[in-house]
Amino acid sequence: MMEITEGSHAVAEAVRLCRPQVISAYPITPQTHIVEALAEMVANCQLDAEYITVENEFSALSACIGASAAGSRTYSATTSQGLALMFEVCFNAAGMRLPIVMSIANRALGAPLSIWNDQQDSISLRDSGWLQFYAEDNQEATDLHFLAYRVAEDHSILLPAFVCFDGFILSHTYEPIDMISQEDVDRFLPKFSPYERLDAADPISFGMYATPEYYHEFRYEMDRVLKQSKAIIQKTGKEFSRMFGRDYSAMVEGYRLEDAETAIVALGSICGTTKDAIDEMREEDKKVGLLKIRVFRPFPTEDVAKALAHVKNVAVLDKNISLGAKGALALEIKDALYSSGIPVKDYIIGLGGRDVRKKDIKAIVALVEKDQGDIFYGLRREVL
């Protein structure tokens, strides 16, 4: 059913339809509307879940670990400082192979304090073992939750997942959403069946420590499984597409890329602006296309190499910066294209909520075609 909804509320509705049994969350801007909406659903018996109002984000995810290990489907949501506070717990949840799903309303990290959007928060957790999905719009943000649970809970994967959508830009924006019915969601996402659980009838030990004789292999297994999840994402995405018409089976998605000479690569809502800019540039006969990265972890290295094999220039838009190096996405793209010799330029853009417009995308295309890049785009020199 099509309805016009705020992004956060659409995500909350998607989460409700996934029937989480335990929700544990803490308020933080711009994520708060999600957990408020879920609390309301629980209060009105629209959602039959235990809702734990924890004292901070660290405990939010810790409670999810306990709930998931005991055999419940669990959910949390956070952003920015909250995610940073969860750093230790994120690594732990993945290491314990618990399929928790968490929405990230992407926001910058302090200092200086900023409540506005960039993607530094989730990108900084790239090495933690979580799957990372990025949404371009609220329809995708909504749908990716169904997909994330299916993939995370697959017994051949058993890893937690972030569904990332840009704070404010998406979380506080009203868009038309085609919401799937409960009946259909139930057909796509069956009841949670834990691979193992804490159970007095069948005692097991969870979270033991590993000596150097074992630790290496534990990490190998996580890496292997995360890479293997690419096939599961593809398969599950196809199934979703057959059922509901929207196709998320590809981890990367080209837009007017087939004959493009210059390719822009980006994550999240900036892809929408970029598509509009490309349409205008195409009218001026500029051969520009977009490669949208939907899944950042596992990183679709081969898909990227294949999709960009024919282009002359690549401009990567990074709403994050690995300070002292480059944007995290650019590092991945350079890795993917290493043997191709295709030049890749990085543009750090839109940090801390700085608006990115079509003219900026066009300016970046002009820069990359002149072989200028690896810069913070749009610096206000007068304040430096």
CB of 89 to other proteins, least distance (A): 7
Judged by beta carbon, residue 56 or residue 182, the one nearer other proteins is: 56
**One residue of 8, 29, 68, 269 binding other proteins per CB under 8 A:** 68
Rounded CA separation 50/27 (Å)? 17
CB of 176 to other proteins, least distance (A): 34
Rounded CA separation 41/12 (Å)? 9
Rounded CA separation 231/239 (Å)? 12
DSSP 332-352: HHHHHTGGGT--EEEEE--GG
Sign of the C-alpha dihedral computed for residues 27, 33, 39 and 40 taken in this order: positive
Judged by beta carbon, residue 83 or residue 170, the one nearer other proteins is: 83
Residue type at position 214: Y
Which DSSP category does 169 fall into?
A: T
What tokens does 170 get? Answer: 């998406």
**One residue of 45, 200, 323, 384 binding other proteins per CB under 8 A:** 200
Which one of the spans 84-92, 136-144, 286-294, 332-340 is the region binding other proteins (CB under 8 A)? 84-92
Spell out the residues 6+ positions from residue 141 whose beta carbon is closer than 8 angstroms to its own. 7, 10, 11, 14, 103, 135, 163, 165, 170
Question: In the stretch 148-187, what mask flags binding to other proteins with x, by CB under 8 A?
Answer: ----------------------------------------
Binding residues for other proteins restricted to 94-123, rule: CB under 8 A:
96
**One residue of 65, 232, 308, 365 binding other proteins per CB under 8 A:** 65
CB of 73 to other proteins, least distance (A): 10
Judged by beta carbon, residue 54 or residue 363, the one nearer other proteins is: 54
**One residue of 42, 70, 115, 222 binding other proteins per CB under 8 A:** 70
CB of 269 to other proteins, least distance (A): 32
**One residue of 174, 214, 338, 376 binding other proteins per CB under 8 A:** 214
Alpha-carbon dihedral angle through residues 205, 211, 216, 222, given to the nearest 10 degrees: 20
Binding residues for other proteins restricted to 1-60, rule: CB under 8 A:
21-22, 24, 49-50, 52-56, 58-59
Judged by beta carbon, residue 203 or residue 324, the one nearer other proteins is: 203
CB of 267 to other proteins, least distance (A): 30
CA 368 to chain centre: 27
Which one of the spans 106-114, 172-180, 206-214, 334-342 is the region binding other proteins (CB under 8 A)? 206-214
Q: How many CB atoms lie within 10 A of CB 225?
A: 18
Which one of the spans 110-118, 126-134, 201-209, 254-262 is the region binding other proteins (CB under 8 A)? 201-209
Rounded CA separation 218/328 (Å)? 25
DSSP 230-281: HHHHHHHHHHHHHHHS-----SEEEES-TT-SEEEEE-TTHHHHHHHHHHHH
Contact residues for other proteins, defined by CB under 8 A? 21-22, 24, 49-50, 52-56, 58-59, 62-72, 74, 88-89, 92, 96, 198-200, 202-211, 214
